[in-house]
């Protein structure tokens, strides 16, 4: 089968605009790292799972630059201030200046940590996203959200800081574990369920080919997700309006991740369960048909994703959601559905209905 040609789309943010390149084989190409995007001094930040697979290829593609590396332990449990400080320590130890470039080689955790370090070191240096997970390619690497977790909640400490470029090599997904690949599909499904019914229909038809990791179909899915996100980020970079719709399932999902210590549930798995809870609440409020809830549940199950939350308890879940970043003036703002492909933000959810939905997390 002929490999698909790379796609390029632009995130249009004026002087901070940047390209997103999507296709197979990109991370090992020297042309992916032009001098106007990547300076002479580079620190590649990656983890101990990705490094053996792709660190040498990226290092060689960077050519004659000064290239240093930092290999972190894998996992969401390490997305914290201590690991962030380790990146800053490494930059200072190497005496890197404001013209240095950080390269985030890995999934969403590496991208968030590296981006936050880039935003803070010497008040801001350049960074490039080279995402190697499906979740990062379709969501975390694009849009400039950078953060670390806190014991009180996910992503409580961070900054909006855009990369200079995103290089999404879909061939790197061939080495991704099955569970991690399926977790990334939760974010892909989210785009269709929240914002694009036509894309949702395409996913229902193309899911088997996506699960088989056909490069052409996966590249199409990544392109369509990134195009949706780019349009929204251009309109609402700092999430004061429409960008919040991209958080469908995330308020519930972040509570699941926090309650389980960022270890037993992957982010995408928590988002999948969170989307079902958002759909359940939408149906209780009379905005969504049960047939649509079942359609979403069926798609998640086909993708190998959970359609029920873990038994962490509805009361604890409600308490953790109260710490969510989307709380405004003491009111929880939830992304709900008026139909599949039609998300909206509700800042005055009926508490009785919410408690019934939260009871899905009670021990069964």
Catalytic residues: 123, 145, 187, 229, 239, 243, 247, 250, 254, 267
CB 259 within 8 A of CB 318: no
Report the b/e string of 193-226 with b at 16+ CB within 10 A. bbbbeebbebbeebbeebbebbbebbbbbbbbbb
Beta strands 126-131 and 165-169 are parallel
CA distance 188 to 224: 9
Say how many Å lie between the first and final Cα of the chain, rounded.
Answer: 48
Q: What angle do CA 139, 133, 184 make, to 5 degrees?
A: 60
**Sign of the alpha-carbon dihedral angle for 34, 236, 111, 94:** positive
SS3 4: coil
Residues 51/126/153/275 CA torsion (nearest 10 deg): -80
And the tokens for 268?
């995408």
What are phi and psi for residue 124, nearest 5 degrees?
125, 115
Collect all residues with Cβ–Cβ distance below 8 Å to 259 and sequence separation of at least 6. 310, 312, 316, 317, 320
Helices (H) then strands (E): counts for the chain: 12, 11
């Amino acid at each position: 089968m002929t490999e698909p040609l790379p796609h390029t789309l632009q995130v249009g943010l004026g002087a901070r605009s940047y390209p997103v390149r999507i296709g197979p084989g990109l991370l090992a190409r020297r042309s992916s790292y032009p001098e106007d995007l990547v300076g002479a001094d580079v620190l590649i930040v990656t983890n101990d799972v990705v490094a053996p697979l792709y660190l040498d290829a990226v290092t060689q593609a960077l050519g004659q630059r000064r290239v240093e590396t930092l290999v972190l332990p894998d996992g969401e449990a390490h997305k914290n201030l201590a690991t962030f400080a380790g990146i800053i320590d490494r930059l200072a130890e190497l005496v890197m200046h404001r013209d240095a470039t950080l390269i985030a080689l890995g999934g969403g955790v590496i991208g968030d940590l590296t981006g936050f370090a880039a935003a803070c070191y010497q008040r801001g240096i350049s960074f490039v996203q080279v995402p190697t997970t499906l979740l990062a390619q379709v969501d975390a690497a694009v849009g400039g959200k950078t953060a670390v977790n806190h014991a009180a909640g996910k992503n409580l400490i961070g900054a909006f800081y855009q990369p200079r470029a995103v290089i999404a090599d879909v061939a790197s997904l061939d080495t991704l574990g099955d569970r991690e690949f399926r977790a990334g599909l939760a974010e892909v499904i989210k785009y269709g369920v929240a914002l694009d019914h036509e894309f949702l229909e395409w996913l229902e038809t193309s899911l088997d080919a996506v699960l088989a990791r056909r490069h052409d179909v996966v590249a199409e899915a990544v392109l369509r997700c990134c195009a949706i996100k780019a349009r929204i980020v251009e309109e609402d970079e700092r999430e004061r309006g429409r960008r919040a719709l991209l958080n469908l399932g995330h308020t519930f999902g972040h509570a699941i991740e926090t309650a389980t210590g960022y270890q037993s549930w992957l982010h995408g798995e928590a988002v999948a369960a969170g989307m079902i809870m958002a759909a359940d609440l939408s149906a209780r409020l009379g905005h969504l048909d049960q047939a649509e809830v079942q359609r979403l549940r069926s798609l998640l199950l086909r993708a190998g994703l959970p359609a029920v939350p873990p038994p962490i308890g509805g009361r604890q879940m409600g308490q953790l959601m109260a710490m969510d970043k989307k709380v405004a003036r003491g009111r929880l703002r939830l992304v709900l559905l008026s139909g599949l492909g039609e998300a909206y933000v509700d800042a005055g959810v009926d508490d009785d209905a919410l408690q019934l939905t939260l009871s899905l997390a009670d021990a069964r």
